[in-house]
Chains A and B, each alone.
Chain A
Amino acid sequence: MGAKTALYQEHLSLGAKIVDFAGWDMPLHYGSQVEEHYKVRGEAGMFDVSHMTFVDLNGARVREFLRYLLANNVDRLQTYGRALYTCMLNEQGGVVDDLIVYFLDEERFRLVVNAGTHDKDMAWIERHATAYDVTVNEITDVALLAIQGPDARHKVHHLLSDVQREKAQALVPFNAVETEGFFISRTGYTGEDGYEVMIPRDQVVDFWRRLHKAGVHPVGLGARDTLRLEAGMDLYSAEMDEETSPLEAGLKWTVAWEPLDRDFIGRKALEPQYNATPARKLVGLILDDRGVLRSHQRVILDGEVIGKVTSGSFSPTLGKAIAFARVPFDVGERVLVEMRGKQLPARVVKPPFVRHGKACFE
């Protein structure tokens, strides 16, 4: 028996197959994860992601603290509600976690971090916050729904108050607004347009039911994984972890190297690598043969193991298996992947695999 979100009974009554995810009882799918995937690509789907960790940071020196804590630079956040994707590194340049940080006001920033890293993240943030007199408050009385897909925003707008709707409609991607108890963010983990909406826990069942009635399909963690994989988005503990540099996880773009005098945790360790050619990199793979790429499969070239698949699955949009793999930087256009005693050829590509609902590759 794991922890349960406020929507657990809703999931059960919708026929969800429940699985353990980081100590939470979460819906894997509600019948067919492939169908759910298509709904998000073509219409609108909703995900209960209330198991994630929400942290508010308060204090006069909170921006200064985050400049030091995060590898991306919070000085890129200059307007209220703006969001930034970033890694939080350890002293060795490995990734403690990846997260989204929101600028709420000069003395208040909000973090959304992974459920699977809750304890170590909280300890890490608190440990470093003390020196900056920043208070760390985990928010536990809210639920988070992601509503994603080409029809998602439109469907949500209908369920909001006039004031909320006006503010939501004005949001450009990667921005959020607090309005009448809701925190509405134009972000997501699917490659589609949509919102992530933070709602008081006691209001979320009603909102979920109204979304469902409006034709928004419930979507489980199974489709969440294939959607993010198609969209070329990393998953913590698969593509990166404490032993992996963001430079070898396709996340160099999230490490703000300039200004050169900004010290952040992990900077010194990354220094020799940053302008050098890294030994390894993260690539996309596409399997044209029948079979499914899966994490931990070995990548082979000229009879030698050169890397491994970090995440893999069947892509409903492409109709074939896709994956991320970490391989030598100078890898060519083709490799072999070992599965079930066979070695099958895979194409090496640059993710994303799918953009705005359309396949980027044959």
Chain B
Amino acid sequence: MSNAPSHLRYTRSHEWIETISDGTYRIGISDHAQDLLGDMVFIELPEVGSTVSASDECAVVESVKAASDVYSPLSGEIIEINEALEDSPDLVNRDPYGDGWLFTVKASDSSELDELMSADEYVVLTNEE
């Protein structure tokens, strides 16, 4: 069974969301998602400064097995991306909740956070899959 840290929130499409500070959130993909996809070979990230709406496709993680869209869980502005992934996409496999983070959003509507799942709910979802 894959792990899902309890201090994070999750989406049905396997992104995780970490609160960095009030209104700023870091996004990545879950351990379950990276395990399903296998070795990452390319990560395409959004541009810093671009604005996204919740559930917009805003990144692509491409593994040996498949390319998969990453959806922004929150609306807002992309304020930082993980540039280390350009040369080391395998960070997503090795440390999906740490060095393998994808981007940071400055949320325009923090109430969207209420729609997200807790770790417990997410684990139930992944066990059903």
Contact = CB atoms under 8 A, between A and B. Distances in A.
Nearest to B62: A292
**10 shortest A-B CB distances, which residue pairs?**
A314-B41, A34-B39, A290-B42, A32-B39, A292-B62, A314-B64, A33-B39, A33-B64, A340-B67, A292-B41
A186 B16 CA distance: 49
Given A292-B64, A339-B67, A340-B67, 16 more contacts: A29-B38, A32-B39, A32-B93, A33-B38, A33-B64, A34-B64, A222-B38, A226-B64, A290-B62, A291-B42, A291-B62, A292-B42, A292-B62, A292-B67, A313-B64, A314-B41
Interface string B50-79: 000000000010101001000000000000
Interface string B81-124: 00000000010010000000000000000000000000000000
Contacts of A32: 39, 90, 93
Interface string A21-37: 00000001100111100
B18 interface: no
B101 to A, nearest CB: 19
Residue from the set B39, B60, B62 with the largest chain A CB neighbour count within 10 Å: B39
A255 B26 CA distance: 58
Residue from the set B42, B60, B64 with the largest chain A CB neighbour count within 10 Å: B64
Contacts, number: 36
B80 interface: no
Interface residues of B, number: 11
Interface residues on A, range: 10 to 19
Q: What secondary structure prevails in chain B residues at the interface with A?
A: strand
6 contacts: A29-B38, A33-B38, A33-B39, A290-B62, A314-B42, A340-B67
Interface string A311-353: 0011000000000000000000000000110000000000000
A352 B5 CA distance: 45
Nearest to A28: B38
Interface in B11-50: 38-39, 41-42, 44
A29 B63 CA distance: 14
Contacts of A313: 64
B64 A222 contact: yes
Residue from the set A222, A290, A339 with the largest chain B CB neighbour count within 10 Å: A290
Contacts of A290: 42, 44, 62
Contacts of B44: 290
A290 B87 CA distance: 12
Nearest to B35: A17
A226 B39 CA distance: 13
Contacts of B67: 291-292, 339-340
A153 B60 CA distance: 41
A288 B42 CA distance: 13
Nearest to B86: A290
B70 to A, nearest CB: 13
Nearest to A339: B67
A339 B38 CA distance: 20
Interface in A101-154: none
Nearest to A222: B64
A339 B66 CA distance: 12
Residue from the set A17, A29, A32, A226 with the largest chain B CB neighbour count within 10 Å: A32
Contacts of B62: 290-292
A296 to B, nearest CB: 13
A290 B41 CA distance: 9
Contacts of A33: 38-39, 64
Nearest to B67: A340
A227 to B, nearest CB: 12
